[in-house]
Amino acid sequence: MIIMANIRVDDKLKKEADKKFSLIGMSTADAVKIFLTQFVQTGKFPFQIEVPTEQPNDETLAAFTETEQILSQNHSDNKERLTDYRRRMRQEVKDETGHVEL
């Protein structure tokens, strides 16, 4: 017996999923069936679930370190601008990753 199951997802996400699955000749419903079948058969998600890192990348960390070094030299005429630069860089990292831990 086949039943109808409804799931709630954001409209934009559903449309994007439909578009991508159609590129490989599948429907979103097919993908959900595959997911459920694999989960039932193995007791595991058919993909790895990871917690996103909460740290900026190495390039950003290096920029923060460089900024701190420059600020510690106490160049009073540039200090305010560098502080603003660091604040802006932190905001860019936050905007890109959703968080910043520095």
What the block records as the tokens of 16 is 């994007």
Please give the residue range of the domain that contains residue 82. 58-97
What is the reported pLDDT for 91? 87
CA–CA separation, 80 and 45 (whole Å): 50
90 shares its domain with 66: yes
pTM above 0.85, yes or no: no
Has residue 53 been placed in a domain?
no
Has residue 52 been placed in a domain?
no
The number of domains in the chain is: 2
Tens-place pLDDT, residues 9-60: 999 999 999 999 999 999 999 999 999 999 999 999 888 877 776 777 888 8
What is the reported pLDDT for 75? 60
CA–CA separation, 44 and 85 (whole Å): 46
63 shares its domain with 92: yes
Has residue 15 been placed in a domain?
yes
CA–CA separation, 30 and 39 (whole Å): 14
CA–CA separation, 89 and 67 (whole Å): 10
